[in-house]
Structure formats: C-alpha cells, structure tokens
C-alpha cells in the first residue's frame, strides 16, 4: 500500500499516537528518521502524567535514579520535530468512521493514521479483597512511589504474588526497602517461563540464600485485612496463612486492548490487537498497533521491549511506504536484579523435535547451565543460572553450529573440558545485540566502513549495547578483533592520555628521573592530552610508578604529598577502603598473622568504642568496617598509638604474608615459617606495584599457609626454602611455579627482591604476577633467567631499587596524623565538618552493624574491570 | 610566591537561585580532587577544581550505587571535557553537564560555582 491512501483532504496528514511508552517513543524517533515528522502533523496522547520513561530500568528508582533520570524522552527532540504531546489525557473513544479520537479532557483529534501503543496492564488474580489498602501492582513510576511510601511508613513484611521475572524484580525492591520479603508462586518453580526444573532449583537456592522466603506450588486464595481494611496477610491454597503488611501483584501482564475492542477492532482470543506483518490492524488499514498491546502476525504478544522496538520501526517504515515486516522475535532474557545471574535464550525449553540437552549442574553452588542442541549440532537455545558469563556469545551463536563441542561451553573453567569461544568465530548474521537487533556484520561494518575505532563510537553508530547492556562485553571483543584484522594498529597505549604502555612509562620515569605526573603528561602524553587533567586510568597508574621508584627518582615516598595526593585512587586518598554506603573499612597490618593478646584487645576496644563491625579477613588479619570518613583519623590515632601500621588493604601494594605456625609448634614443621613471614612482610610493606601483592610462608610441604596460591610463596624444606611465583587465588586461580629450591634466608630474599622489581618494571596496569608470567615472552623460563641467572645483568640494579624502598619506608598513617593539612581532607563536608553524612546509615544484624542503603545492585552493572581495586 | 595570599583570600561560592552561598576558602580545594558540601536544604554538592583553576559543582550522590561519594572520585579530561569517575562502580560523569558518559539516560544535577 502506498502513502497516498493516507493523505486525506487536509494539507498536512495527521498521525495520532495513543500511548507514550517506550515503544511509542521509539515510533516517534523512527518517524523523524524517515522524515515523516516534516510532512505530517504528529499528535501524541498519553495517559501517564509524564512522557515516556525507561520502564525496563524502573526498579533502578530504588537504587537512587530519579523519575527524571529514567526519562527516555528528549524534549528538544519533541520540540524540534513539532510533535504535539498531550500527557495525562488518555484516549477514551475511537471513531473509525469519522477517523477521530476523543480524549478524557474532551480533546478531539482527526487522524489519517492511528497508531495504538497502549502497552499492558498488570494482571491481578480475582481474589477477594485484592483492592484492599496495601495491595499494589508494579508497572509505573506512580506505582513505585506508592509502594515506597507504604513500605516506609506502614510495613515490615511484604509479599509478592508471582515468581516470574517481574515478581523477582519486585521482591528485590521490597527487600531493598528493608522488608521481610516473601514470594508466592503458583508454578512449582521460580521463573517458570524462562527456566526449567533444574534451573529453578539452582535459582531457588540462590534467592533463598539472599534471605527471601519462597513459596512455590501455592496459589493466593484471598487477601486478609484488619479492622481498618488494610492488608494483614493472605490465605494460600495449601490452607496456610501468610502474615504480611503489603502485597504486590506481579502475576503477569495483559495487553491493553479495551479501547480497540470498543472500536470494533479484532483482538485475539487471549487478548492483543490483531495485526499483520506490517503491524497494521487486520480490521482497519488506517490503524496500526505496536508494542505490548499488539498480537503479532506470528500469533504472539511480546512482553519485551526489543520486539516492540522492531514493531515501531516496521510501522514507521510502512507508513513511509518502505518495505518492512515483523515476523517474530527472540525471547532471550537476562535477569537484572539482585546480582543473580539468570539468562535464557532461544528454544530454552527444548521444544524443537529431536533436540538434545547438554546440562551441567551443581546445585550446591547454585550453578545450572543447559544448552539445547539440534540433531545437526545447531545451538537452539539454553538456560544459564548462577553464571551467565557466556550469555552474550552463546546467544549470538544461536541458530548456527558452534565451532567447538557444546559440552565445553557449559563446563566450568578449569575442569579440563572448558574452551573459550571467541566472537570471531561467529557468522556475520549472528545477532550480537538483541535489544536493538544489531548483527555482527553491522558491527564489523561500523569499524570497516564507518571508521569507528572505539566501543563508544560503535555504540553510537549502531545503537548496539545501549539497551540492557548485556552484549557490551562481546561487542568490545568484536571491535578489537575487527580493528586488528583490518590492519589498523590497535592502540596499546595505557589510556586516552598516553600512547605508551605501563612498562614503557616506567622506563621513561626511571631513565629520565621524571618525578611529577604533570611533567610526564606534558612531555610524554598524547598531543591532545598535554596540558590537560589526565584521566582516572593514568593518574593512579603513574602515581604508583612514582611511588615505587620514589627514593630513586627523587620523589616523596609519601603518597599524599603535593601533586601525588590528587592522583591517587579514591581509596588511597583516604588510606582506607570505601564501602557501599560511603563508609570505610580499617585494616591494620598484622605481620605474618601474629598478634599479641594486647593487640587483639586494643583492636577490640577501638571497634567497640567506634561501633565498628569486625571480621577476620581471608588473609589472617582483622577488618573493622563502618567507619565514617571523619572518624578515620581518630581511629588511626589510637591504632598508631598502640603500635599498629597501615595494612594497605586499600592500595595496589603488598597486602599480607600469611604464615602457618611452623617448626616452633607444629610437629611436622622444618623451618620457622612465622619468623620468615614477618620478615618478608616488614621488608615489602608499603611497596606500590601494578596490582596487589600477596605472599605466604608454610613450615613444611603440607602447605597450611597456601603459599602456592600467592604472588610469591615460600615453602620450607629441610635444607632451606623453596620459592614459588605467579600463584593466584581469585576468579582464575593459578598454582605458583617453582622458581628456585633449597634457598638460604639471604638467597631467598635476594631472589624475591629481584623478582618483584622485575615484575613491577614490566607488568601492565592491574596485571597480577600470574597473568604477567603467562603473558611475557619466554614466560617462566625467561623470568628464571633474569631473576636467578641474571641473564640481563640487571640483578644488582633491581636489588638496589628494592633496598631504596626498604630504607625509605614510612607508615602512611603515622605520617598523615602528623600533618594537620593532610588531616583536613577527612571531613564529611567541607562547610559542615561536624555534620555526619546522613546517607551513611547502619542497621543491626547478628549483634553488629551493617550498611543501611535502600538499594540492591538492581539494574546497574559494574563497568568492566571496576571490581579491580 | 605571590599567588598564595591571593588564592586564600578567595572563597568558593555555589549559586542557589538568586543568591550565592559561600562554602569554603578556595585553598581548601586541591586541583584534580573534590570536596563535598552540604546545602541548607540537605542536598549535597561535589565541588571540583581543575588544573586550570576552573570550578565545577555536581550532585554528590552516585545515582548507581546510592551513596553520596562522587566528591571522592578521580577526575580527568576526555576530549577537553572534564569528568569525574565514581569511586563505587567507576561510571564517569561530565562535570559541566552532569551527563553520565557511560549511560546516556543518566544525568546529574549541576551547580554554578565561582571563586569570589
Ligand atoms: C576483606 C577481604 C574479605 C574478607 O572479609 O575476608 C577482601 C575484600 C575485598 N577483596 Fe579480596 N578480600 C580479602 C581476601 C582475599 C583473598 C584471600 C587472601 O588474600 O589470602 C583473595 C584470593 C587470593 C588472591 O588475591 O589471589 C582475594 C581475592 C580478591 C580478588 C581477585 C584477585 C585476582 O587476582 O583474581 C579481588 C578483585 C581484584 O583485586 O581485582 C578482590 C577484591 C576485594 C575488594 C577490594 C573488592 C572491592 O572492590 O570492594 C574487597 C575490598 C574489601 C574492603 O573494602 O575492605 N579480592 N581476596 C579479605 C581481605 C584480606 C586482607 O586482610 O587484606
Ligand atoms: C518492572 C519492569 C521490568 C521490565 N524489565 C524488562 C526487561 O528487562 N527487558 C524487556 O525487554 N522488557 C522488560 N519489561 C517490559 C517492558 O517495559 C515493556 O515491554 C515495554 O515497556 C513495552 O512498551 P510499550 O510502549 O508497548 O508499553 P508501555 O511502556 O506500557 O506504554 C504504554 C503507555 O500507553 C499508555 N496508555 C494506555 N492506554 C492509553 C490510552 N487509552 N490513551 C493514552 N495512553 C494510554 C500507558 O499509560 C503507557 O504509558 C519490564 C517491565 C516492567 C514493568
Ligand atoms: S604447613 Fe607444615 S609446619 Fe605448617 S602447620 Fe602445616 S603441617 Fe605444620
Ligand atoms: S543486548 Fe541489550 S543492549 Fe545489546
């Protein structure tokens, strides 16, 4: 059909959009992109009081996003395109004969094309008293405002009816508001639509571990109310009663098609306005329906935003007389609440004939991964619970035969079978970003044809990665691979300010004795960066290089001196670790893990006097958490007074040298491991390095101190010490490699001095010794040649650099307490130093404090690498 | 040096409607770092000074993590535009517009700041 059919007698044909939700807004953008806003009058009538906002991220309101933050409507865009927006005025009738709509206010608008984007309404099961005070639904900003107010003023317990995607999200929000939270799900498992039985079991375990109570396989029979008519509980189908102060219904959504029904437009048996592949209603060529209110040509009503966007594009294209069709979409989802990893994609339940499942399940650790594979090896779909790391790649491979065996895709890393499946193996048609339907080919073209060279540029160019964000990782890998393939020299520079690697910068600093950051930036930075302010990547990196070489290059060894203060990572700046609510943790050094009863008492008294939470850490020392910024100097004054020093838990520096009791007490011990651990810890304390450094000393081969999982680990032998290097715990554990055997005390220390200095010189930013050892050319053999055999003849230089460090060490906290100017920064507010930050709050748990923040990690994902401290 | 007395005699002020609220001496700010200030109505502003001596003010609360800590983030410039990176999860915010550089949909309130 051509556009002429829509051009009425009026000079400017009119497009009327009913409903301004996410899909409606996308439709307006698509109209503008096709130039239709110039040729048509566009009128929007919306029921909600505010223009379109990000419903998908609705829950992030509880983690601090304001309704304004959530808006997806750019008012400049609306104005620039002359779009007439009428908010808070729902359409009440459509007169198809006269082609006009009438809104509640009486406003009547004639149309040539009518587009319905009325979305869904939450389904509330017809149980008695479901309208009682304290009953809510979870759909709009207004719903959330009401829930928040009620929860804060009148409730301590909350129940969510429905354990699906939205139900869990709502439950996460209630939990975040501090309520004792229950989930009631009629099906025998949580998220019944997305996950199967095995996945449900893994998910259940994780959710319960988070302190939510789950009741599956029971229905809600009625709401129980108190004398004043407000909710006090609910009766369940198994005869039990659940006491609760409020109920949030999240039992699914239904298309809002009443307006269309009243106008005589065809709707499906189970609701939804029936449309064809062009999103035009089957009943009336002048009327379209898009988004959650539409029953698509494939017989489905889509409850996700990505298919709605596609429908919006299709409708706009059709109105512009372009070819477009919507024939169906993928139902992949990744849960974005509570920090639980849950993802399902493609044919997750294995409905395709003759398909096979490949399952890996470990219910104890809440892991469940299932892939559905076709007879010919095609990946059809899958479910990931507990670890959705591979989601981006797997989703993109769906519909094709992956180049490696499917088993190896679900087995955990390190179990022998696991293999990495890189995105380079993907076909061009593979969809990388399903929110915006962007294929690998399009992303490659962005690099090759549109000369994008960074992920942000590709995001802007293709829209990929700007929806739910779950594809950003794969996107980054693809962009790098494509740049490398097309011969573009991939920038190995540290950041946007420096074209050199960390190693090169280290050499420059050392050789030219450069001892200020500004000097380095202005002389050796990239052209555009010289004279500027640097960035959050290079500042701490350079600060660390300057600190590790301080005595040699003539810089101050104290990290908060002069310019250096401004460069340090936030934690180093306050000499403490920032916690989620803005308070800090305090970790004094306890060398080798050895501590006197008096020392323990002092720590206990300080923690008690300041009301801090105490915990034994995983590295044999004591953490005191919950200190306000202005309390740090007071706490440290007492610690320093009692002989404690900074433990550098905040720094990229030596953390601890753990020990076992060793020969002194243990019947198996062959050397004094505690003495050696203390000696090593005191020697390397305060040493700033590319990443944190950890060590341990065990008194015999039984290895109770776990030295082989450390950056440098020492194990006693009857003849001396064995030195292991490159061990790592953490996410990718690695056993250390034996560097040298049966060393004397002096030999041991000499080799460690050289090893550490060589690592500090050549490693990348945030590269642990384990990854460094695997990366550098020649690997362990090369390191052994340099460190043990001194093949480069730099052994002495490395040792003397370390000697400089050892002689110049000063405790940072003692130095800070001595300097009133430095202390001035430890205030809550520069203009109200006596007022504590009201956002820093605590509640009690198991007789101690814990942070009180009305938030969970909902809707927000840490940026890549942000966990690196 | 002649600069020092001049610097200390100036104070940092934040604009509130028609009025300018005096916060502290300019000397309290280190170039490249921030401080937090409390407004009479309970809002918190993160104030920053850059290398060139320009002042910026944005809402102190990290919209992703919820804690009021943006004043403690690291600052920098990207394509000539100043930004701060949150100490919690590292999202960056333009100091002039308040726009989050890692998430188009998030923008912070900004404040006019001057040295007077
Ligand atoms: C407090 C503590 C947990 C505890 O309560 O026991 C802890 C807490 C944190 N660890 Fe850890 N780790 C703690 C022992 C460990 C250990 C065990 C050990 O040291 O023997 C490991 C495994 C050993 C290892 O590092 O190889 C460990 C491996 C990690 C990793 C992963 C490192 C890796 O190479 O993969 C990170 C993330 C990172 O650094 O990038 C991390 C990061 C963190 C961060 C910085 C996460 C963050 O960004 O907030 C936590 C900061 C706590 C704070 O604010 O004070 N933490 N962390 C432990 C402090 C020990 C101490 O006294 O200093
Ligand atoms: C908490 C939550 C989390 C979600 N998470 C995800 C997710 O992770 N991924 C995902 O893909 N999807 C998610 N969704 C679903 C997603 O939000 C919807 O698919 C999307 O919003 C649909 O857009 P729409 O424009 O079709 O409908 P809506 O956004 O509902 O917009 C319809 C608008 O039309 C208005 N309206 C209705 N009738 C009239 C009338 N007669 N006159 C005028 N206006 C009218 C409504 O008030 C509404 O403002 C989530 C939804 C919720 C509630
Ligand atoms: S490592 Fe050996 S010496 Fe140390 S505690 Fe264990 S058994 Fe005893
Ligand atoms: S898949 Fe959601 S943003 Fe790409």
User: Could you tell me if the CB of A700 is within 6 A of ligand 3?
Assistant: yes
Comparing A860 with A172, which gets the higher pLDDT? A172
* Residue B5 in this model has a pLDDT that exceeds 60: no
- Residue A161 tokens read as 């009816």
Segments making up each domain of chain A, as ranges: 6-121+255-319, 135-251, 502-568, 651-808
Interface test mutation site (partner A, options B25, B44, B59, B65, max chain A beta carbons within 10 A)? B65
Do A831 and B51 lie within an 8 Å CB cutoff? no
Give the pLDDT score at A468.
Answer: 67
Secondary structure of A673-688 in HEC code, one letter for each residue: HHHHHHHHHHHHCCCE
Comparing A853 with B26, which gets the higher pLDDT? B26
CA torsion A425→A430→A433→A439, rounded to 10°? Answer: 110
ipTM over 0.90: no
Protein fold of A6-121+255-319: FAD/NAD(P)-binding domain (3.50.50)
Average pLDDT over residues A517-537: 89
Q: What atom in ligand 3 is closest to the CA of residue A703?
A: 1
Structural contact between residues A858 and A338, judged by C-beta atoms closer than 8 angstroms: yes
Give the pLDDT score at A351.
Answer: 78
Give the pLDDT score at A418.
Answer: 39
Highest-confidence segment of A50-54, A198-202, A693-697: A693-697
Give the pLDDT score at A357.
Answer: 79
- Residue A831 tokens read as 């203009």
User: Could you tell me if the CB of A18 is within 6 A of ligand 2?
Assistant: yes
Give the pLDDT score at B8.
Answer: 52
Give the pLDDT score at A855.
Answer: 45
Topology agreement, domain A6-121+255-319 and domain A135-251: yes
Q: Tell me the helices (H) and strands (E) count for chain B, helix number first.
A: 1, 10
Is any Cβ of chain B less than 8 angstroms from the Cβ of A470?
no
Give the pLDDT score at A798.
Answer: 94
Is any Cβ of chain B less than 8 angstroms from the Cβ of A69?
yes
Average pLDDT over residues A62-75: 85
H-helix or E-strand spanning residue A760: helix A745-762
Is any Cβ of chain B less than 8 angstroms from the Cβ of A830?
yes
* Residue A861 in this model has a pLDDT that exceeds 60: no
Give the pLDDT score at A862.
Answer: 38
Give the pLDDT score at A618.
Answer: 94
Name the closest-CA residue to atom 39, ligand 1. A868
* Residue A82 in this model has a pLDDT that exceeds 90: yes
Of A205-209, A740-744, B24-28, minimum mean pLDDT range: A205-209
User: Could you tell me if the CB of A472 is within 6 A of ligand 4?
Assistant: no
Do A829 and B62 lie within an 8 Å CB cutoff? no
Structural contact between residues A41 and A16, judged by C-beta atoms closer than 8 angstroms: no
Secondary structure of A507-566 in HEC code, one letter for each residue: HHHHHHCCCCHHHHHHHHCCHHHCCCCCCCCHHHHHHHHHHHHHHHHCCCCCCCCCCHHH
Residues of A in contact with B32 (CB under 8 A): 533-534, 539, 566-567
Quick one: what percent of chain A has pLDDT higher than 70?
93
Of A110-124, A607-621, A845-859, minimum mean pLDDT range: A845-859
Give the pLDDT score at A421.
Answer: 56
**What is the rounded average pLDDT for all residues in chain A?**
87
* Whole-number Å distance between alpha carbons of A360 and A370: 6
Give the pLDDT score at A566.
Answer: 80
Confidence class of residue A860 from pLDDT cuts 50, 70 and 90?
very low
Give the pLDDT score at A244.
Answer: 96
Do B73 and A536 lie within an 8 Å CB cutoff? yes
Concatenated DSSP letters of A807-818: HH---HHHHHHT
Give me ligand 3 centre to Cα A668, in Å.
6
* Residue A447 in this model has a pLDDT that exceeds 80: yes
Name the pTM for this structure.
0.55
Name the closest-CA residue to atom 32, ligand 1. A730
CATH 3.90.1150.10 fits A135-251, yes or no: no
Average pLDDT over residues A601-609: 97
Confidence class of residue A469 from pLDDT cuts 50, 70 and 90?
low
Give the pLDDT score at A168.
Answer: 86
* Residue A50 in this model has a pLDDT that exceeds 60: yes
* Residue A302 in this model has a pLDDT that exceeds 50: yes
Give the pLDDT score at A338.
Answer: 52
Give the 3-state secondary structure of residue A707: helix
Contact residues of ligand 1, CB 6 A cut-off: A 577, 579, 585, 587, 615, 617-619, 621, 623, 649, 655-656, 694, 728-731, 768, 867-869
Do B51 and A533 lie within an 8 Å CB cutoff? yes
Alpha helices in chain B (DSSP H): 3-9
Average pLDDT over residues A476-482: 82
Model pLDDT for residues A415-444, shown as the tens digit of each residue: 443 344 566 777 788 788 877 888 888 998
Give the pLDDT score at A856.
Answer: 34
Give me ligand 3 centre to Cα A670, in Å.
9
Do B24 and A831 lie within an 8 Å CB cutoff? yes
Average pLDDT over residues B63-87: 90
Quick one: what percent of chain A has pLDDT higher than 90?
56
Q: Sheet containing A220-225: which strands, arranged edge to edge?
A: A220-225, A231-236, A241-243
Give the pLDDT score at A866.
Answer: 37
Is any Cβ of chain B less than 8 angstroms from the Cβ of A571?
yes
* Whole-number Å distance between alpha carbons of A625 and A378: 51
Give me ligand 3 centre to Cα A618, in Å.
18
Of A338-342, A489-493, A577-581, minimum mean pLDDT range: A338-342
Exposure letters A501-538 (e unless 16+ CB within 10 A, then b) = bbbebbebbbeeebbbbbebbeebbbeebeebbbbbbb
Of A305-314, A360-369, A372-381, minimum mean pLDDT range: A360-369
Model pLDDT for residues A670-684, shown as the tens digit of each residue: 999 999 999 999 999
Of A222-226, A523-527, A858-862, minimum mean pLDDT range: A858-862
Residues of A in contact with B37 (CB under 8 A): 829-832
Work out how many CB contacts closer than 8 A connect A with B: 143
* Residue A393 in this model has a pLDDT that exceeds 80: no
Cα–Cα distances in Å, from B67 out to A43, A171, A580, A851, B102? 41, 22, 7, 11, 18
Comparing A425 with A305, which gets the higher pLDDT? A305
Q: Sheet containing A367-373: which strands, arranged edge to edge?
A: A333-334, A342-346, A379-385, A367-373, A356-362
Is any Cβ of chain B less than 8 angstroms from the Cβ of A435?
no
* Whole-number Å distance between alpha carbons of A467 and A310: 13
User: Could you tell me if the CB of A662 is within 6 A of ligand 3?
Assistant: yes
Give the pLDDT score at A427.
Answer: 78
Do A574 and B72 lie within an 8 Å CB cutoff? yes
Alpha helices in A210-304 (DSSP H): 258-262
Is any Cβ of chain A less than 8 angstroms from the Cβ of B10?
no
Which residue of chain B comes nearest to A835, CA vs CA?
B38
CATH number for the A651-808 domain, one of 2.60.40.60, 3.30.410.40, 3.30.413.10, 2.10.260.10?
A: 3.30.413.10
Comparing A813 with A364, which gets the higher pLDDT? A813
Which residue of chain A comes nearest to B87, CA vs CA?
A570
Do B67 and A840 lie within an 8 Å CB cutoff? yes
Give the pLDDT score at A574.
Answer: 92
Residues of B in contact with A582 (CB under 8 A): 67-69
Do A64 and B68 lie within an 8 Å CB cutoff? no
- Shortest distance between the Cα of B72 and any Cα of chain A, in A, equals 6
Confidence class of residue A859 from pLDDT cuts 50, 70 and 90?
very low
Structural contact between residues A402 and A409, judged by C-beta atoms closer than 8 angstroms: yes
Residue (of A152, A132, A148) closest to A140 by Cα position:
A148
Is any Cβ of chain B less than 8 angstroms from the Cβ of A824?
yes
- Taking only residues 582 to 601 of chain A, the set having a beta carbon closer than 8 angstroms to any beta carbon of chain B reads 582
Highest-confidence segment of A176-180, A243-247, A345-349, A460-464: A243-247
Average pLDDT over residues A678-694: 96
Name the closest-CA residue to atom 5, ligand 1. A617
- Residue A712 tokens read as 């440098």
Do A65 and B80 lie within an 8 Å CB cutoff? no
Do B28 and A518 lie within an 8 Å CB cutoff? no
Do A578 and B24 lie within an 8 Å CB cutoff? no
* Cβ neighbours of A641 (radius 10 Å): 11
Which of B69, B73, B105 is facing A582, going by the closest CB pair? Answer: B69
Average pLDDT over residues A810-815: 93
Residue (of A400, A393, A394) closest to A427 by Cα position:
A400
Comparing A491 with A792, which gets the higher pLDDT? A792
Give me ligand 3 centre to Cα A592, in Å.
14
């Amino acid at each position: 059909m051509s556009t002429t059919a829509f051009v009425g007698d009026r000079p400017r044909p009119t497009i009327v959009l009913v409903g301004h939700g996410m899909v409606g807004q996308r439709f307006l953008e698509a109209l503008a992109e096709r130039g239709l806003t110039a040729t048509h009058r566009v009128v929007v009538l919306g029921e909600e009081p505010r223009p379109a906002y990000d419903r998908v991220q609705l829950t992030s309101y509880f983690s601090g996003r304001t309704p304004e933050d959530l808006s997806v409507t750019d008012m400049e865009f609306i104005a620039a395109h002359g779009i007439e927006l009428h908010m808070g005025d729902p359409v009440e009738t459509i007169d198809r004969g006269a082609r006009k709509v009438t809104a509640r206010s009486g406003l009547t608008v004639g149309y040539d094309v009518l587009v319905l984007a009325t979305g869904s309404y939450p389904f509330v099961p017809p149980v008695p008293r479901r309208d009682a005070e304290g009953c809510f639904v979870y759909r709009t900003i207004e719903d959330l405002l009401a829930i928040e107010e009620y929860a804060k003023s009148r409730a301590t317990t909350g129940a969510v009816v429905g354990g699906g995607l939205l139900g869990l999200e709502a439950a996460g929000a209630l939990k975040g508001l501090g309520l004792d939270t229950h989930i009631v799900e009629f099906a025998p498992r949580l998220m019944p639509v997305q996950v199967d039985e095995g996945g449900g079991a893994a998910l259940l375990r994780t959710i319960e571990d988070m302190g939510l109570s789950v009741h599956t396989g029971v229905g809600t029979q009625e709401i129980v109310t108190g004398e004043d008519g407000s909710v006090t509980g609910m009766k369940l189908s198994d005869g039990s009663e659940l006491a609760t102060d409020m109920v949030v219904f999240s039992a699914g959504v239904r298309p809002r098609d009443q307006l269309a029904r009243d106008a005589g437009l065809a709707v499906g048996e189970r609701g939804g306005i029936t449309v064809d592949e062009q999103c035009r209603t089957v009943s009336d060529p002048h009327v379209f329906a898009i988004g959650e209110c539409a029953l698509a040509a494939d017989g489905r009503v889509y409850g996700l935003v990505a298919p709605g966007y596609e429908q919006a594009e299709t409708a706009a294209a059709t109105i512009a007389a372009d070819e477009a069709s919507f024939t169906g979409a993928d139902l992949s989802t990744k849960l974005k609440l509570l920090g639980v990893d849950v993802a399902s994609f493609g044919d997750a339940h294995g409905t395709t004939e003759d398909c096979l499942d490949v399952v890996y399940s470990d219910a104890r650790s809440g892991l469940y991964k299932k892939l559905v594979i076709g007879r010919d090896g095609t990946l059809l779909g899958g479910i990931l619970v507990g670890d959705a790391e591979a989601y981006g790649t797997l989703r993109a491979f769906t519909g094709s035969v992956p180049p490696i065996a499917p088993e190896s895709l679900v087995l955990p890393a390190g179990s022998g079978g696991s293999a990495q499946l890189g995105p380079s193996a993907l076909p061009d048609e593979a969809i990388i970003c399903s929110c915006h339907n962007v294929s690998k080919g399009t992303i490659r073209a962005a690099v090759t044809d549109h000369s994008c060279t960074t992920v942000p540029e590709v995001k802007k160019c293709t829209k990929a990665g700007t929806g739910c964000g779950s594809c950003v990782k794969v996107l980054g890998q693809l962009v790098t691979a494509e740049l490398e393939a097309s011969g573009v020299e991939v920038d190995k520079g540290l950041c946007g300010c420096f074209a050199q690697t960390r190693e090169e910068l280290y050499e420059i600093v050392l050789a030219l004795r450069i001892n200020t950051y500004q000097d380095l930036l202005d002389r050796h930075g990239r052209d555009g960066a010289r004279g500027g302010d640097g960035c959050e990547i290079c500042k701490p990196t350079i600060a660390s290089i300057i600190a590790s070489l301080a005595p040699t290059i003539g810089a101050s060894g104290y990290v908060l001196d002069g310019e250096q203060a401004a460069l340090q990572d936030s934690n180093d700046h306050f000499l403490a670790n920032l916690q989620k609510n803005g308070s800090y943790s305090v970790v004094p050094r306890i060398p080798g893990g050895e501590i006197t009863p008096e020392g323990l008492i002092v720590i206990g008294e300080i923690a008690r006097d300041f009301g801090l939470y105490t915990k034994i850490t995983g590295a044999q020392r004591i953490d005191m958490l919950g200190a306000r910024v202005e309390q740090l100097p007071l706490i440290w004054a007492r610690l320093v007074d009692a002989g404690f020093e900074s433990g550098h838990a905040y720094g990229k520096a030596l953390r601890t040298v753990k020990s076992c009791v060793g020969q002194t007490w243990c019947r198996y011990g062959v050397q004094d491991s505690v003495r050696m651990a203390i000696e090593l810890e005191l020697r390397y304390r305060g040493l700033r390095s590319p990443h944190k450094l950890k060590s341990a000393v065990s008194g015999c081969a039984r290895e109770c101190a776990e030295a082989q999982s450390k950056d440098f680990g020492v194990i006693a032998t009857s003849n001396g010490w064995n030195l292991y290097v490159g061990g790592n715990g953490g996410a990718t554990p690695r056993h250390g490699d034996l560097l040298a055997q049966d060393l004397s005390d002096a030999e041991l220390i000499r080799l460690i001095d050289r090893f550490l200095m060589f690592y500090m010189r050549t490693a990348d930013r945030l590269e642990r010794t384990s990854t460094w050892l695997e990366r550098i050319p020649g690997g362990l053999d090369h390191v052994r040649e340099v460190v043990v055999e001194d093949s480069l003849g730099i052994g002495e230089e490395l040792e003397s650099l370390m000697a400089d460090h050892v002689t110049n060490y000063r405790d940072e906290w003692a130095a800070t307490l001595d300097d009133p100017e430095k202390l001035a920064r430890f205030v809550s507010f520069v203009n109200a130093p006596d007022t504590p930050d009201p956002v820093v709050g605590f509640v009690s748990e198991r007789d101690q404090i814990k942070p009180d923040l009305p938030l969970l990690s909902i809707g927000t994902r840490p940026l890549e690498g942000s966990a690196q401290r | 040096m002649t600069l020092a007395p001049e610097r200390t005699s100036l104070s940092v002020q934040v604009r509130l409607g028609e009025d300018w609220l005096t916060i502290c001496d300019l000397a309290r700010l280190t170039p490249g770092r921030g401080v937090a200030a409390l407004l009479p109505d309970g809002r918190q502003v993160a104030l920053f000074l850059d290398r060139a001596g320009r002042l910026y003010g944005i809402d102190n609360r990290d919209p992703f993590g919820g804690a009021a800590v943006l004043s403690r983030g690291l600052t920098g410039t990207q394509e000539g535009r100043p930004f701060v990176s949150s100490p919690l999860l590292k999202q960056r915010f333009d100091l002039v517009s308040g726009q989050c550089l890692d998430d188009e949909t998030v923008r912070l309130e900004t404040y006019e700041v001057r040295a007077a």
